[in-house]
Chain A
Amino acid sequence: MTNHSLEREPKFRCRSVSVHYGSFQALHDVDIDIMDRGVTALIGPSGCGKSTLLRVFNRMNDTIANARVTGSVTMDGQDILGGDIDPVSLRARVGMVFQTPVPFPKSIYDNVAYGPRLHGLARTRAELDAVVENSLRRAGLWDEVSDRLSMPGTGLSGGQQQRLVLARAIAVDPEVILMDEPASSLDPIATARLEALIEALKARYCIIIVTHSMAQAARISDRTAFLHQGRLIEYDATERLFTNPGDVRTQDYITGRFG
């Protein structure tokens, strides 16, 4: 059945996490452990609560007026839902990439430098230059934009923009990167590039990715969680979940019978 335990100490530990939007309950008592340095995929039909769960990890539900999160979530053993953690400092540790890449209306350089400037990560211009270059390299974008860093970030192609916002997230030097359907607006070639990138990044970061594509989840994730109607139905090593699902709903979903 559902496997909550991990071999190593988890990065996140969620216990009976529920999320309400007004009177609507989007998540029901979810227990899940997320491993460090690996890719965890959240799959499920539209409206199953996977994006809501993703937004629990960086407290982005706080920005929704009538959202209420209950239960307990710890990151490295530290409670991140309570009042004693500052969501602002949490978000510096937990980066996020959205479905549609939305660069700031600034230059490519300023987009990447936004976070480091915010947190004072670089003292000199040379240091900032290094952070920007490093982040762009890690996001696999450096070779394409190194000669036009002062051009607006919004002028890049969709795939480049997605890697730009990824570089922007990396520049803050987070521990976790959350991705909300990062490939849904990309063409197949850009998607392949992004997936290769995720593969390379997982050695360093804890990556949690929401995806609609079962094939993508199977390709890139180490563990996969299947959510349905706000409940965590099944959570297991990706290979096992896709080849030998324990729940009939998981089976139906991954074989394309609904969702």
Chain B
Amino acid sequence: MSRALARRKRAEARFRLMGRAAIAFALLALVWVIGSVLVMGAGALTHHRVEVSAMELVDPALVSASDLGAQQRRSDFQDGTQSVLATARLDQYLKGRDVVLSAEQVATVERWREQGRISRGFNTTLFTRPDSRDAERAGLKTALFGSLIMLALAAALALPLGIATAVYLDSFAPRRGWGGRLTRALEVNINNLAAVPSIVFGLLGLAVFINLVGLARSIALVGGLVLALRMFPTIVIASRAALESVPPRITDGALCLGASPVQVVFGTKLPMAGPGILTGSILGLAQALGETAPLLLIGMIAFMTEAPAGLTDPATSLPVQVFLWSDGAETAWSERTAAAILVLLGLLLLINGAATALRARLDHRR
């Protein structure tokens, strides 16, 4: 008896240890991933600028030529100098990265440094400028706008459709006979849809929206539609689970008071399932925000120097931007890739935080 008890206790201790080990491993992996991205991306948050006088002839390898050009066209510059962006090359050199400059360039930089003409500041370009061929001038504006427009469109389409589908399947779809068979077939298919690789949705978007309907490639509208398709099954499944978790006793109680099925759904079931539906929907939204493959298939891989202003403008999204930048050979591009990932993660965190807060408020109100 006591031996059996000791054995059971040992088994429990073992199990608990394994659980802790698993959590520790997961935490370690998370810290490692986020940590390396943070270390890489932090560099891109600051950038160097150089004070250049208007009449000075400057090596375009050191300061951004297009910035310089704009400066020199200007007739009324103040006290003869202007602050211009350092090139990614110079910036990386100043940050102590492994960049080889010619002896002449090094001498110039040392002179600037002595004269106090080099300053380091927050890299606003990264957030306010569209993409560029030059790393120092590349920003996330295109991708941020694109992601937000597409996400808004996808949510506006998939949320009402998905929740309505879930409500219908849960409360109104026929359960008997041929209608019931059709309902079950539908349910199975929607469940499978959620497991379909996302690239297939891109293929579908390409075949239907671009080839069949004739919409332009790589525009925000098509991206939003494809993301809506991607979100739809997730939202349906999450909403159904939330609706099913409403105790039947509650709905029976409402029915027994003479509530019609529609009143039961909208007055009792939906409010109670609300937090669950919300969480599921946010999950779908977050998933769509990180989606890359289907967007690549509908041509969102183009280099875009202008932020989309509307649904029919060509767009790109944050993850696609990450993908594009990760191709860059210079360390400045790796830095910016990591920074873009950080922005993406920050957005996800923001969305999830909003969902948690909203859920807590809804739960509290009940």
A, B from the same assembly = yes
On A, residues with C-beta under 8 Å from B are 58, 60, 63, 65-66, 88-89, 91-93, 95-96, 98, 100, 102, 104-106, 114-115, 118-119, 152, 165, 168-169, 172
| Contact A118 B259, CB 8 Å, known A65-B175, A102-B247 | yes
B258 touches A88 (CB 8 A): yes
Contact of B258 among A89, A104, A165 (CB under 8 A): A89
Instruction: Name B263's closest neighbour in chain A (CB-CB).
Output: A118
Instruction: Name B366's closest neighbour in chain A (CB-CB).
Output: A105
Instruction: Name B271's closest neighbour in chain A (CB-CB).
Output: A105
Taking CB atoms, residues of chain B closer than 8 Å to A91 are 255-258
B257 touches A115 (CB 8 A): yes
Taking CB atoms, residues of chain A closer than 8 Å to B256 are 58, 60, 91, 95-96, 169
Instruction: Name A65's closest neighbour in chain B (CB-CB).
Output: B175
On B, residues with C-beta under 8 Å from A are 175-176, 180, 247, 249-250, 252-260, 263, 267-268, 272, 366
B257 touches A100 (CB 8 A): no
A172 touches B258 (CB 8 A): yes
A63 touches B253 (CB 8 A): no
Taking CB atoms, residues of chain A closer than 8 Å to B263 are 118
Instruction: Name A62's closest neighbour in chain B (CB-CB).
Output: B255
Instruction: Name B258's closest neighbour in chain A (CB-CB).
Output: A92
A114 touches B249 (CB 8 A): no
A114 touches B366 (CB 8 A): no
A100 touches B249 (CB 8 A): yes
Measured CB to CB, the closest approach of chain B to A184, in angstroms, equals 14
Instruction: Name A97's closest neighbour in chain B (CB-CB).
Output: B256
Output the residue of A60, A105, A106, A169 with the most chain B CB within 10 A. A105
Question: Could you pull out 6 A-B pairs where Cβ atoms are within 8 angstroms?
Answer: A65-B176, A91-B258, A106-B366, A118-B259, A168-B257, A169-B256
Taking CB atoms, residues of chain B closer than 8 Å to A66 are 175-176
Taking CB atoms, residues of chain B closer than 8 Å to A93 are 258
A165 touches B253 (CB 8 A): yes
| Contact A118 B258, CB 8 Å, known A98-B252, A104-B253 | yes
Which 9 pairs between the two chains have the least Cβ-Cβ distance? Answer: A92-B258, A96-B256, A102-B249, A65-B175, A115-B257, A91-B258, A105-B366, A88-B260, A118-B259
Taking CB atoms, residues of chain B closer than 8 Å to A165 are 253
Taking CB atoms, residues of chain B closer than 8 Å to A102 are 247, 249-250, 253
A63 touches B252 (CB 8 A): yes
Measured CB to CB, the closest approach of chain B to A162, in angstroms, equals 12
A60 touches B255 (CB 8 A): yes
